[in-house]
Amino acid sequence: MKTIVITGASSGIGLATGEYLSKKGYKVYGLSRSVGNSELINYLPCDVTSKEEVLNAFKMIKEDIFAVINNAGVGIGGPVEHTATEDIEKIINVNIIGVVNVCQVALPYLRKTKGRIINIGSVAGDMAIPFQAFYSLTKAGISIFSEALNIETRPFGVRVITILPGDTKTSFTKNRTKDYPEDPIYGRRAKMSLEKMEKDEEKGMSPIKVSKVIHKVLKKKKPPIRVTVGFSYKFLVFLKRFVSFRFLNYVLLKMYGGGNE
């Protein structure tokens, strides 16, 4: 039985994936601040922003670890100009430092097993989303970080893969920090933009779709470097190669710019 560790396993994509992989025969350890309610996942309470907590959680795992899935993540909505510094620090701490902490702690285990790191990025890391600039920034960072780490660790047989889900129906929408409600300059546009995004998320795919892609990637001897989840998102990412940045920026302005005023 192969052992995997997944962060953010208390809800959404992490919970669905932990349960799916457990049913497929993996032993699953879930790291999150709160303990989830799945009997299929062995929860180890852990805030990924603390290297010490990550180290302690890994010490509790006695089996060889085949794969680590960095899934824990948070979002912010709001204009760049008025986003509170502590909110920017929080998203960078969870979405970037958290991933780095887990990779650093996990690598000695994964070098031993020639294991896998799967980092959950986002299509928002490939397309710049206004009023979610800090989210796009962290997810773009995860893609490039994963590619560099893949090259560094390849000689040891370790592979690092980024999964890019599109809109997925989870608690992510309600958990997003919003930094715009009182903003007299950007508030109306930020609200329109976020409302559109939230509607898309609420109509989004089931997290199990992401879980199935993760499972497929885990089974591959030679896994891909990046996988986008969802046909329409795959198509968008493909189209991006053929259009100019100016055109893409214009399309994103029309979609998520919240009007031109």
Closest distance to ligand NAP from the beta carbon of 66 (Å): 21
Closest distance to ligand NAP from the beta carbon of 152 (Å): 22
Among 204, 213, 217, 218, binds ligand NAP (CB under 6 A): 204
Assess 7 for contact with ligand NAP (CB under 6 A). yes
d(CA 174, CA 170): 8
Site string for ligand NAP, 222-241 (x = CB under 6 A): --------------------
Give the binding-site size for ligand NAP (rule: CB under 6 A): 30
d(CA 121, CA 138): 8
End-to-end Cα, the chain, rounded Å: 57
Assess 175 for contact with ligand NAP (CB under 6 A). yes
Assess 14 for contact with ligand NAP (CB under 6 A). yes
Assess 19 for contact with ligand NAP (CB under 6 A). no
Residue type, 5: V
- Is residue 86 within 8 A of residue 134, CB to CB? The reply is no
**Reading across the β-sheet that carries 3-7, which strands appear in turn?**
42-45, 27-32, 3-7, 65-70, 116-120, 159-165, 226-229
What are residue 11's phi and psi, to 5 degrees?
-160, 170
Assess 73 for contact with ligand NAP (CB under 6 A). yes
Contact residues toward ligand NAP (CB under 6 A) are 7-8, 10-14, 32-34, 47-49, 71-74, 94, 98, 120, 122, 165, 167-168, 170-172, 175, 201, 204
